Amino acid sequence: MFVALSTVLMVMDHKYDNLASLRAGLSLIVYPLQQIIELPGTVSDWFGESLSTRRRLQEENDSLRTQQLMQKVQMQKLASLESENIRLRELLDSSFEVGEKVLIAELMSVNLDPYKHQIVVNKGELHDIYPGQPLLDAKGVMGQIVHAGPYTSTAVLITDTSHAIPVQVNRTGLRTIALGSGTINRLDLPYIPNNADIRPGDLLITSGLGGRFPPGYPVATVQGVRHDPGQSFSQVVATPMAELNRSREVLLVWPGISTTLEPAVPADAANTPSIDVVTPDETTGSGAEPPVDASAAAEPETP
């Protein structure tokens, strides 16, 4: 009887998602266990913060201040570029979302099934987390939420074998799909034709197709391209930008909801050259879209 029961459970969990509420409810039971595991880390963090010396704190403060200054400068450029971008888009009569609502979450230090690339974050449905929500870190896309419990949620990383993410090559606009390889530092791009323009070092960004990930976030850099004349597709592997096994703080994004960034700098700064803006999020997201159409038109020519 229990065998039948668990089989039914598995089928329901795999094929349909009507077990989400059951899983959410049961995850409440598991939450204390996860908290106990977290405890040593939390305590040592607390001690580390309260016992660190004045000098170290000052040093950290200084470095953070310089970092913030640098980023402010970059933000100024970004703001001007954004306003320019919005103006241009208005001319083209197309809407463009400036920024997304984000929430910072922390990973919980619990280990899951070692053969699945999953992580647990310490935010849940009570923070409006929903299944399918994109998860980023400071450097790029990490994955997406699969189960949202009340206080915690489980996310699957982009390198999990069951995960695929629509991407495009930032340089050429070539769109493709990056599949998880099961190895933490590798993504496979199996659907690139042999004659496609792709080189090691190319940046892959989210294309926004599929509607799950917002467009323009960096995903990976191309590591190696191998053309096999006997195959119709070349074998391309890429390294994820996000520090999938090192990040502790992660960002959860709500793609639909935008927080408008006010342009901090008036229009006279808008004609500064825009080459070295470090945050590629908005600039590439908008700049790369016209080539998408071009590549879409070019794709049918491939044999």
Partner 1 sequence: MTLARHRGGGVILLTFVVALLLTIVPLPEWARYARPDWVGLVLIYWCLALPDRVGVITGWFAGLLVDLVTGTILGQHALSLTIVAYLTQRLHQRIRLFPILQQAFTVMILLILHQLLALWISRIIGRPGAPWYFWAPSLLGMLLWPVVFVMLRNMRHRFRVR
What's the one-letter identity of residue 289? E
**CA contacts within 13 A on the Cβ side of 256:** 5
Using the minimum distance from each CB to partner 1, give the nearer residue, 25 or 200: 25
Does 91 engage in binding with partner 1 (CB under 8 A)? no
Of 182, 193, 280, 287, the one binding partner 1 by CB under 8 A: 182
Residues 254, 102 contacting (CB under 8 angstroms): yes
Does 44 engage in binding with partner 1 (CB under 8 A)? no
Does 186 engage in binding with partner 1 (CB under 8 A)? no
Rounded CA separation 295/57 (Å): 51
Does 16 engage in binding with partner 1 (CB under 8 A)? no
Using the minimum distance from each CB to partner 1, give the nearer residue, 5 or 91: 5
Using the minimum distance from each CB to partner 1, give the nearer residue, 8 or 73: 8
| Helix, strand or coil, per DSSP, at residue 270 | helix
Shortest separation between residue 144's beta carbon and partner 1, angstroms: 14
Of 50, 95, 111, 271, the one binding partner 1 by CB under 8 A: 111
Residue 162 structure tokens: 């069951």
Residues 243, 158 contacting (CB under 8 angstroms): no
Shortest separation between residue 189's beta carbon and partner 1, angstroms: 18
Q: What is the DSSP letter of 201?
A: T
Of 86, 89, 99, 109, the one binding partner 1 by CB under 8 A: 109
Residues 179, 190 contacting (CB under 8 angstroms): yes
Rounded CA separation 128/78 (Å): 29
Of 17, 36, 71, 302, the one binding partner 1 by CB under 8 A: 36
Compute CA 21 distance to the chain's CA centroid, rounded to the nearest angstrom: 26
Residues in binding contact with partner 1, number by CB under 8 A: 38
**CA contacts within 13 A on the Cβ side of 129:** 29
Rounded CA separation 144/156 (Å): 6
Does 243 engage in binding with partner 1 (CB under 8 A)? no
End-to-end CA distance of the chain: 55
Of 95, 123, 162, 251, the one binding partner 1 by CB under 8 A: 162
Does 161 engage in binding with partner 1 (CB under 8 A)? yes
Does 27 engage in binding with partner 1 (CB under 8 A)? yes
Residues that bind partner 1 (CB under 8 A): 2-3, 5-10, 12-14, 19, 22-23, 26-27, 29-30, 33-34, 36-37, 109-116, 118, 120, 147, 154, 161-162, 182, 245
